[in-house]
Structure 1
């Protein structure tokens, strides 16, 4: 008896997954290692993120922006790790660069996966609201926010690559953070986080 034919979409998805992992691996490793001191912990997070990515990519609803998804998942895993280990508060985490003051940062506090069904619900709701709020941003603000906050790129690098003034990039990030904070505040209030 012959095995069932392999779906062409499964093969396409697998090659998309492989291409994304190959393309994003180095940047993702750097992003994680800047925030996690222990190389073994950093590798564990990387493997968890890729495992999560493969599972999510095979779901019926497609991942629109794989790169942003990977960095968001890595950031969430890092936050979970710090919450569990209590090594240092999130506000003390080293940032990709020090040229942005605290008003330009969005410290998204997500409930850990393993703290029960209410936490899973709250986490899902917060991430959905964050994604919706990101989608509402003007493209230039969203791009700066994603590049700095999720991909760990410095404002200096972005300014030199794009030709956009550093202060303009800082202002775009600030407007994005203000919008995201406002949108997420009602969720935090409702969930009493």
Structure 2
């Protein structure tokens, strides 16, 4: 069986135009807020759930994301996409929750020279469900491998490979340089590929 990691795109996003984004952001409009929640709630929860240890934490943070969003409608910068804005709120709340519980952010050893970060060409080898992922035990162990990554690597992997954000959108969401996005994504995929190899070697 091939040990390469395939693509991980589970439901590619539908492109939203700026005008459609603006339909979600109408200060004081319960209707636009309900539309925002209906459109993005599952996406935000899916991201948060992989960033925090428990489903209860994920539910609390997801709820808080939309409360913060509603309270910030009048400060929304229309130059940013709605989903980038929401994921930024979600990520910051995940970081705050980790620090509050004294877990902190795991330290990341970026073994890539800062001088070449901007030149990294990250192969587009996102993985998608295939025969391998039909094995429930394998999926569970793979999820554990992702959860075991540092939050810095895991967040970039999830935003790019699952939520389909571009390098630029991730950089805007996490407030980091594009070169750092590329290096973290490269390292995250390398870790995931190594985890898959280890898992496959233990398969009967």
Do the structures match in fold with TM over 0.5? no
Alignment TM-score, normalising by the size of structure 1? 0.43
Between structures 1 and 2, the one with greater helix share: 1
Alignment TM-score, normalising by the size of structure 2? 0.41
RCO (CA 8 Å, sep 6+): is it higher in 1 or 2?
Answer: 2
